[in-house]
Structure 1
Amino acid sequence: MDQIDVLKKQLKNAFEMKDLGATKKILGVELLRDSKKGILKLSQHCYIKKVLERFEMVNSKPVQTPLSAHFRLSCNQCPRTEDEKAEMSTTPYSSAVGCLMYAMVLTRPDISHAVSAVSRYMGNPGKEHWRAVKWILRYLSGTADYGLIYGLKGGTEVDVEGYVDADYAGDLDKRRSLTGYLFTLSGCTINWKASLQSVVALSTTESEYTATAEAFKEAIWLRGMVTELGFEQRQVAVHCDSQSAICLSKNQVHHEKTKHIDIKLHFVRLEVSKGVVKLLKIHTDDNLANMLTKAVPAAKLEFCMNSAGICRL
């Protein structure tokens, strides 16, 4: 009898295997299951409450949007004198933005644009930047029990679908544009991003096309991931509200307004021609990615959130 057999014999009646109770929290994310309805909810309610307590915003008056359109953040609002810098040095700006980032990355796509805006000034924040951070916290104080929900829209078919948008020259400092995209799986949000583009776009078309290229790369990766999980999806649909970007993805003819666009972006055309990803026109009113690139009105934000499965749990 070898050592393995001896060990098995010794452990035969030493313990009894049991299934462990379903996990209710991981990395600060609360998992709420309804097995009968086939629904899974992800929430950071407790985490957000602790953040609000930490920055003394529990009793703050809630606001309806993550960032109001009246905030026009720029480097011109950064402290200029030593006294101003000394005053802002006591403000927990970086800590607050870091806490907001954690919520945004895990369960709150709706604050992506706002967090992207305030995170640009972590090196030297001013009073207006701090007011913007507190505005986001006020928004979270009224939506702390919001989160992602999976299963309501899900049917038997696994289907990845994307939405992409760009805000041309939205960055007031370097006039860079903002890319925003959101992907759903069977109608439930699984992936999102809001970030400044690495180069300065020279036209709205270029900014939209650059955003589309980023979304296509993500679509291809998600398609591969779904395939590895055993689900076959021949083509991923990406919705865009820019007719010019859609035309550029199909038209092989260069003209004066687009010849400056870097050739690397034209891999979009290749993927469209291969049938891996299809770029579809969507009205801007129906584009879920709008909330990732700009400050939208409360009604539009509510529509985007409901459509993306971000709701009160």
Structure 2
Amino acid sequence: MKNEFEMSLCGKLNYFLGLQVQQRSDGLYISQTKYANDLVKKFGLDAATAVRNPMGTSSKLDVDLTGISVDQTLYRSMIGSLLYLTASRPDISFSVGVCARYQANPKESHLKAVKRIIRYVSGTSNYGVVYTFDSNVEIAGYTHSDWAGNVDDRRSTSGGCFFVGNNLVSWHSKKQNCVSLSTAEAEYIAAGSCCTQMLWMKQMLNDYGFPQGKLSIFCDNTSAINISKNPVQHSRTKHIDIRYHFIRDLVDANILELEFIPTENQLADLFTKPLDNLRFESLRKSIGVCSTV
């Protein structure tokens, strides 16, 4: 882009995405500080007390049929503003995604949860993602799920984050479209979503002249890993939709491998459920979200 448009990379990112890009000796720092501050002021929470995480561990949102309804336009405006902020703030992806499920009929409990996210943004408005120059071009992914985490329909939430070297380049937090009967099934389905993203990244890097070897996806569930390696476990897997079983073909073809990682090192945990302050801040730092000042 620099050669084509005679503009710096920082300038192009600012122009197209509204991101603030700081180039330093050790890397690039991408943030939306001005947008975050404007967002907090827009919804009148600039004087509110900041919090250390966007969603408390005791928070279990549901449809709240007996709750008091709130202004849908205001609620949707808050959600839309926060969704745009996730371009540089993966640490709020899960909490914003959960609150976005209730836009059809928001209640006071949902509005309170959204305001907590904005209070968190208020205290971390200068945070963004850092991309270091000291890295390689090998890709790796982390996959995790929160089994039956949704109170309303008991569906699980899939989370994943993807790195080129030690730099976070993609992430997702999404409710699964079916009910899982076990943690192994939920983790296996989450791994399937992770595989499709990894294959796309591999093909894209190949097109750019950076061929990849065997892909590594890190999972903390040994049962899901065993299912990917052993097609004989029929009693455990016969109820799982066949479209997820392409993982086995990829493993057999030596294209990728599910590798075990201890739960305390599972970075995708940040995208599946609310976490306590210490755990949240530790994972936030590990994925490369930090202060840009």
Judged with a 3 Å threshold, the aligned counterparts in structure 2 of structure 1 residues 78 and 212 are, in CA distance, closer, same or farther, namely farther
1:51 aligns with 2:39: yes
1:61 aligns with 2:49: yes
Could you tell me whether the CA contact under 8 Å between 2:76 and 2:103 is conserved in 1? yes
1:33 aligns with 2:12: no
- Give the one of 163, 180, 194 matched to 1:201: 180
1:112 aligns with 2:101: no
- Give the one of 100, 115, 137 matched to 1:158: 137
1:256 aligns with 2:238: no
Q: Distance in 2 between matches of 1:181 and 1:199?
A: 18
Q: Which runs of 5+ in 1 are unaligned?
A: 1-17
Q: Distance in 2 between matches of 1:298 and 1:203?
A: 28
1:99 aligns with 2:88: no
Give the match's secondary structure for 1:233.
coil
Output one character per residue of 1:45-88: Cα deviation in whole Å (capped at 9) or x when no partner. 00000000000111111111110012111012564xxxx44xx1
Could you tell me whether the CA contact under 8 Å between 2:72 and 2:103 is conserved in 1? no
Root mean square deviation, CA, Å:
1.7
Could you tell me whether the CA contact under 8 Å between 1:149 and 1:188 is conserved in 2? yes
| Displacement after TM superposition at 1:20 (Å) | 4.4
| Displacement after TM superposition at 1:261 (Å) | 1.3
Judged with a 3 Å threshold, the aligned counterparts in structure 2 of structure 1 residues 100 and 256 are, in CA distance, closer, same or farther, namely same
Q: Distance in 1 between matches of 2:42 and 2:152?
A: 31
- Give the one of 36, 53, 71 matched to 2:59: 71
TM-score for both structures, normalised by structure 1:
0.87
Alignment of 1:1-313 (within 5 A): 19-20=6-7, 23=11, 25-26=14-15, 27-34=17-24, 37-77=25-65, 79=67, 84-85=68-69, 88-89=70-71, 92-104=74-86, 106-151=87-132, 154-155=134-135, 157-313=136-292
Q: Which has the larger radius of gyration?
A: 1
Aligned residue pairs: how many?
285
Give the match's secondary structure for 1:76.
coil
Q: Distance in 2 between matches of 1:90 and 1:196?
A: 22
Give the match's secondary structure for 2:78.
helix
| Displacement after TM superposition at 1:263 (Å) | 2.0
Letter in 1 for 2:49: K
TM-score for both structures, normalised by structure 2:
0.93
Q: Which runs of 5+ in 2 are unaligned?
A: none
Output one character per residue of 1:157-208: Cα deviation in whole Å (capped at 9) or x when no partner. 3111100100111111111110000001111110000010011111111111
Output one character per residue of 1:236-286: Cα deviation in whole Å (capped at 9) or x when no partner. 211001110000000111342332112221110111111211111001110
| Displacement after TM superposition at 1:25 (Å) | 2.1
Output one character per residue of 1:116-159: Cα deviation in whole Å (capped at 9) or x when no partner. 1100000100111000000000111111111011115x33x311
Could you tell me whether the CA contact under 8 Å between 2:219 and 2:266 is conserved in 1? yes
Q: Distance in 2 between matches of 1:101 and 1:210?
A: 25
| Displacement after TM superposition at 1:38 (Å) | 4.6
Q: Give the stretch that moved more between structures: 255-264 or 206-215.
A: 255-264
Give the match's secondary structure for 2:168.
strand
| Displacement after TM superposition at 1:19 (Å) | 4.9
Could you tell me whether the CA contact under 8 Å between 1:220 and 1:276 is conserved in 2? no
Could you tell me whether the CA contact under 8 Å between 2:89 and 2:128 is conserved in 1? yes
Q: What is the aligned-residue identity percentage?
A: 34
Q: Distance in 2 between matches of 1:233 and 1:311?
A: 29
